[in-house]
Structure 1
Amino acid sequence: MRNLYEILELPETATTLEIKQKYKKLALLYHPDKNKEVDNEKFQELNLAYSCLIDPKRREVYDRTKEIDEKEYDFYFKKINENDIVEYEKIYRYSEQERNDVFLAYVKTKGNLLDMIDHIPLSTYDDLGRYKDICQLAIDQGELSIYRQFPKINQKELKKRKAKLEKEKKQVTTENEKENELALKMEIQKRNESRLAALISNIEDKYCKDEKKHKEEFEESKPKRRKKKNE
């Protein structure tokens, strides 16, 4: 495995902002939907490097050891099955990462709850109420600004989108056998956007950390993350 900084074409002194900016640029360059001639492995390496270096604690461990946890490596390069997705969903939902993604989606869509679904991994329309509560609490605490269209939901539009999603699910089920593991990951996150837009709009650990499976082995001193529901 190449040095993670070399993969991102950055020095070891790179700031978090520089890592994010470089990731966006390289994701566009190596994305298989944009460049059919690029090997998928380069794109997988890019996501592994980003997910490790964007996390301060994991970056500190990597800077010290220059090693990547074997299970973390497997997460990006092994074939993904339905069980992997289910296990990640258990980690992601109600996590700090999901909360951050909700905030990013809120700002990007200017408080449009229906559009937010397009930008949050593993989201469903059943999550709308929970996302509204998360944002409202953040607004009350001064973490987010209020937008005029929040928290309104156009029920007619919601019904229309649900019908469209059901149709897409049937299409994805039919096509999955023909797609490789990378395409499957991205289909899960697709929703109503193109694969590339869904990826770039969720650059904050979009391809997950698989923390629950290997956090004890990877970083024994790291405190366990508690899952909390926003009230």
Structure 2
Amino acid sequence: MRKKGAVYDQTGCVDDTDLAGDVVQNLKDFLRTFYKKVTEADIEEFEANYRGSDSEKRDLIDLYKEWKGNMSRIFCSMLCSDPKLDSHRFKDILDEAISAGEVKRTKAYQKWAKRISETKPPTNPLERRGKSKKEPEADLFAIIS
């Protein structure tokens, strides 16, 4: 025990050999009993149910308020969003919220909305584009698993 104390005093770290092997595996097995493994199908199902939902609209309006209409920050924070697919759809939702007095129009939003109005909307914004041809290592699913 003195040796570990001396190592801690010198380095500020403890030897982690006690956390190797069976201990980690047992902890992993224990946690698996509470949480199921997230699959690619789970992610796709969530995305399909979330996009276009009332929950997505509420999240968008909350993020609009939080980021004061800065759409680049909103897209970074918004679940399952893609500026190429969702900009026109989000603009419609936010314009409706502004008209209803739910949120105030900001300069940042006005500038973004003007630029979006000048672009052609996607044909089906709720349909996600096909699978990318990325290597599995770069895939979000691979990172989560």
The answer to whether the aligner puts 1:152 opposite 2:111 as a matched pair is yes
Match of 1:130 among 86, 89, 95: 89
Write the letter of the residue equivalent to 2:57.
R
Alignment coverage as a number of residue pairs: 98
- Give, in angstroms, the shift of residue 179 of structure 1: 3.9
Write the letter of the residue equivalent to 1:148.
K
In the other structure, the counterpart of 1:100 is: 58
Structure 2-normalised TM-score?
0.55
Measured on the aligned residues, the alpha-carbon RMSD in Å equals 3.3
Is the contact between residue 132 and residue 151 of structure 1 (CA under 8 Å) also seen in structure 2? no
Aligned-residue sequence identity (percent) comes to: 29
Q: How does 1:111-126 map to 2 (within 5 A)?
A: 111-125=69-83, 126=85
List gaps (5 residues or longer) in structure 2: 1-26, 116-131
In the other structure, the counterpart of 1:174 is: 137
Write the letter of the residue equivalent to 1:140.
S
Write the letter of the residue equivalent to 2:68.
K
- Give, in angstroms, the shift of residue 83 of structure 1: 1.1
Structure 1-normalised TM-score?
0.36
Partners of 2:109 and 2:144 in 1: CA distance: 38
Q: How does 1:1-231 map to 2 (within 5 A)?
A: 77-125=35-83, 126-153=85-112, 173-175=136-138, 179-181=143-145
* Deviation sequence 1:83-131 (CA, Å, 0-9, x none): 1111111111111110111011111221122221011101001201111
Partners of 1:108 and 1:170 in 2: CA distance: 35
Larger Rg: 2
Is the contact between residue 59 and residue 78 of structure 2 (CA under 8 Å) also seen in structure 1? yes
List gaps (5 residues or longer) in structure 1: 1-38, 45-73, 156-168, 182-231
The alpha-carbon distance between structure 1 residues 113 and 88, as it changes in their structure 2 partners (threshold 3 A), is same
* Deviation sequence 1:158-177 (CA, Å, 0-9, x none): xxxxxxxxxxx888842558
Write the letter of the residue equivalent to 1:151.
Q
The alpha-carbon distance between structure 1 residues 103 and 86, as it changes in their structure 2 partners (threshold 3 A), is same
The alpha-carbon distance between structure 1 residues 40 and 143, as it changes in their structure 2 partners (threshold 3 A), is farther
The alpha-carbon distance between structure 1 residues 116 and 142, as it changes in their structure 2 partners (threshold 3 A), is same
- Give, in angstroms, the shift of residue 136 of structure 1: 0.7
Equivalent residue of 1:149, what SS?
Answer: helix
